[in-house]
A and B are shown apart, each in its own frame.
Chain A
């Protein structure tokens, strides 16, 4: 196990040391005293386990492909942005734009997420134990977005094929978002996934609403001008 202290060091230096430790064969890395500093553990492409023992700032775990990153407290804007694979777990809450444009892997947030969670996600899974803010899931193209608590306004706006699941209440649906019954497979997947990542959540798969695209915005048809007027 490698221990890397952030005190008195540049972020570049810390990230280089994380890479050096992985290259030297370390598979357990603890980053101490992060103090919510930005850009920690970005673009790590190996399956190591990196624990941030405190809060992370902006863009933590962005562009990763393979590692498991655990953050003991909260994370700032752009957590795990565009991640390809791996896992990112946050014990606290996260700022705006968490898991935006992610392509694969799993992001688990034990607290709440702020605005624009998982916008334009292209794959993978996002799990939030608490609530999420405004405009979550906007233009989601693939993957699954699960919010165990309540959502903010404009939830799942202009969706493509991301499947969204909500355990609590939805403050407001976005344009073209529709609620449907989760299938048996959905319920089984939710139960399995929640018991793996968030065993503390009391809601079961059958308690969730499913939100998907109404597909009205997918193709432009001038006879449906009213729909577009409303959307834009």
Chain B
């Protein structure tokens, strides 16, 4: 199962109530994935700085953990601002930072630390439990933004915890996030191949490889459209997959159309979801919805 959603507001300056819309869609898909819920939101840019979201680990004194990272970052590149909410600390660092190095240095401070997202506009918030609980802890409905993704997870093969929840950030590549419903059957083969090249996997969730794969394609200079099309060649199994970058929202549906995905596009917005019930629950008005076809790839720009 699992439920995935994507929303993009085609106009405006990022003040759209994207958090509220995505949460509304996720609530309707709560029964498809009771294990965890998460969102990836693209808000207003932070003066060209990177927002770094770090999972501080389960329990312990989160404030002092966050301060430890802040002190470390200050020594590293003079970062200043930080805040903590729930299990996360959020830092703003210079947009010139080498984010791979930054993430590695944070994660080397404590084995519990995990950089969950880095981006000029991307913020990933996820935890175990229902969309309702996600709202209680993080008030995601108050978040504004141009576009975003959401996920409710029914775990089939890997552990249920924050790290294994979705959306996944493409570690090392700013502002790239994915959500996936399905099962990548050549995951172990792909993972071995990436690990031989020194790429680190943070989880045992097969969906993580989608994020790594897309980051690899984009790093080579391909467009998101091309990267999603190449997925059809290189990733086996069942997948309906959404990906978002700083200015794009896209999806791909596997070569056997094994997983559901519906979409609607109007002049004001694009909405994509596992089931139409999610779109109807969150967005009022008149619009038509259709199921994506086999091997269909679409990317919307803003």
Contact = CB atoms under 8 A, between A and B. Distances in A.
A87 interface: no
B299 interface: no
A40 to B, nearest CB: 11
Interface size for chain B: under 10, 10 to 19, 20 to 34, or 35 or more residues?
10 to 19
Contacts of B288: 73-74, 92-93, 111
Interface string B254-268: 001100101000000
A96 B279 CA distance: 18
Contact of A134 (B257, B275, B281, B289): B257
B257 A76 contact: no
Contact of B276 (A55, A111, A115): A55
Interface in B261-291: 262, 275-277, 279-281, 288-291
Contacts of A92: 288-290
A86 interface: no
Contacts of A160: none
B289 A55 contact: yes
B103 interface: no
Contacts of B292: 114
B53 to A, nearest CB: 33
Contacts of B291: 76-77, 93-96, 114, 133
Contacts of A135: 257
Contacts of A58: 275
Q: Is the interface of B mostly helix, strand, loop or mixed?
A: loop
Contacts of B109: none
A76 B257 CA distance: 14
Given A36-B289, A93-B288, A93-B291, A115 B257 contact: yes
Contact of B277 (A38, A111, A112): A38
A54 B276 CA distance: 11
B293 A57 contact: no
A6 B289 CA distance: 19
Nearest to B278: A36
A186 interface: no
A133 B293 contact: yes
Interface string A60-78: 0000000000000110110
A111 B293 CA distance: 13
B76 interface: no
Contacts of B280: 35-36, 54-55
B294 interface: yes
A114 B279 CA distance: 18
Considering residues B279, B288, B292, B293, which has the most beta carbons from chain A within 10 angstroms of its beta carbon?
B293
B290 A35 contact: no
Nearest to B296: A133
B289 A57 contact: no
A153 B290 contact: no
A74 B293 contact: no
B277 A37 contact: yes
B293 A35 contact: no
B293 A114 contact: yes
A36 B290 contact: no
Interface string A90-124: 00111110000000000000011011100000000
Contacts of B293: 112, 114-115, 133-134, 152
A43 to B, nearest CB: 21
B257 A74 contact: no
A153 B294 contact: yes
A55 B262 CA distance: 12
A112 B290 CA distance: 8
A116 B280 CA distance: 25
Given A73-B289, A111-B290, A114-B293, 7 more contacts: A35-B277, A35-B280, A76-B276, A76-B291, A93-B289, A95-B262, A153-B294
Interface of A: 35-38, 54-55, 57-58, 73-74, 76-77, 92-96, 111-112, 114-116, 133-135, 152-153
28 contacts: A35-B277, A36-B275, A36-B280, A36-B289, A37-B277, A38-B277, A54-B280, A55-B276, A55-B289, A57-B277, A58-B275, A74-B288, A76-B260, A76-B275, A77-B260, A92-B288, A93-B289, A95-B260, A95-B291, A96-B260, A111-B290, A116-B257, A133-B257, A133-B291, A133-B293, A134-B257, A134-B293, A134-B295
